[in-house]
Amino acid sequence: MKKVVAHDMVTLPGGVFTMGSDDHYPEERPARRVRVDPFQMDRAPVSNRLFHEFVRDTGYRTTAEIAPDPELYPDASSDLLQPGSSVFFMTDGPVPLSDPMRWWKFEIGADWRHPTGPASDIEGLDDHPVVHVSYDDAHAYACWAGMRLPTEAEWEFAARGGVEGRAFSWGEELAPAGEILANYWQGHFPWQSDKPVGSRRTTAVGCFPGNDFGLFDMIGNVWEWTADYYALAVPSASPKSCCVVDDPRGGTRQESLDPGSGFPRKVLKGGSHLCAPSYCQRYRPAARYGQTIDTSASHIGFRCAAALNS
């Protein structure tokens, strides 16, 4: 079923820009010149309000609301083969940052309506980004809405706001003059937060200033799915190359397979409210993460894109 819904979209001019970075995490390298065509992008991540309209219209059930197929998870405990999703929980004190399982838990009954577990709900969170959506969920919504997910290059072009080479969407400093410009972790991750208790997870879209294109939450709040399979960039594609790559796409499905699970991965962009100066400094346009398509979590959402005149 396809239905055009009223999304607040921004028309972006496209053009040539430097994608990636040589100064941060290895998977962002090399910085290279690419070109994207003009396109439209959601001004903000898809909200609970919009996702609820999709579910109401279609009866769609998200990945988190369906029990996993045991054949796809032969090593999983039968206790975990139930509907649920990954939820972040603060730890009681400092823990080794090399072990994410200290703060992540597969919570039975967690889904987009119940973001921290079956006893929770989204009352008062209509304008927060929807979370606990897998790649398939995001893709299904975009198709229903008459749109698509952005490519990684489109997403990064949009996040940069038309300004070349800045580490962050707004400049070279994370918090210029102490001003917090995005929803990221403040305090000692993952056990101590300087934020008020009620704002330690997602925030309503538009709480922080938009970038130079007028796009909100391109940095922090929730990670966002893109259409591209995850792969490392080609080393020869550097800023000094004689040719600009037109409309670059990610790797192949085979290249993207996760070494552990064997599931294909898609590129996430933007970082989330869990990114911190001391951990996962991926609240930058160039940052990227390869996430398995079956995964949903309390810090993953998405936004839609569209070709012009689509």
Percent of all residues in the chain with a pLDDT value above 70, rounded to a whole number = 95
Cα atoms in the Cβ-side hemisphere of radius 13 Å centred on 213: 28
Query: Contact at 8 Å (CB) between 161 and 215?
Result: yes
Query: What is the model's pLDDT at position 198?
Result: 83
* Residue in 272, 227, 257, 56 with CA at minimum distance from that of residue 144: 56
How do 300-301 and 223-229 pair as beta strands? Answer: parallel
Question: Is 128 among the domain residues?
Answer: yes
Amino acid identity of residue 288, one-letter, is R
Based on the structure, what is the number of domains in the chain? 1
Query: What is the model's pLDDT at position 60?
Result: 98
Residue 157 to residue 159: CA distance in whole angstroms: 6
Question: pLDDT tens-digit profile of 129-183?
Answer: 999 999 999 999 999 999 999 999 999 999 999 998 899 999 999 999 999 999 9
Phi and psi at 114, nearest 5°, equal -130, 80
Query: What is the model's pLDDT at position 41?
Result: 97
Structural domain that includes position 218: 9-68+79-169+181-307
Question: Is 299 among the domain residues?
Answer: yes
> DSSP string covering 142-175, please?
HHHTT-BPPPHHHHHHHHHTT-SS-SSSS-S-SS
If one counts every other C-beta atom within 10 angstroms of the C-beta of residue 71, the result is: 6
Question: Is 157 among the domain residues?
Answer: yes
Question: Is 175 among the domain residues?
Answer: no
> DSSP string covering 85-137, please?
EEEE---SS---TT-GGGTEEEEET-BTTBTTSTT---TT-TTSBP-S--HHH
Global pTM? 0.94
Question: Is 289 among the domain residues?
Answer: yes
Query: What is the model's pLDDT at position 98?
Result: 94
Query: What is the model's pLDDT at position 109?
Result: 98
Question: Is 74 among the domain residues?
Answer: no
Query: What is the model's pLDDT at position 307?
Result: 93
Question: Is 4 among the domain residues?
Answer: no
- CA torsion 140-146-149-154 (nearest 10°) is 180
Query: What is the model's pLDDT at position 238?
Result: 47
User: For the chain, which residues score pLDDT lower than 70?
Assistant: 1-6, 234-242, 310
* Residue in 217, 186, 188 with CA at minimum distance from that of residue 203: 217
Q: Domain of 61: which CATH number?
A: 3.90.1580.10
Question: Is 1 among the domain residues?
Answer: no
Query: What is the model's pLDDT at position 295?
Result: 96
How is residue 164 written in tokens? 């070349």
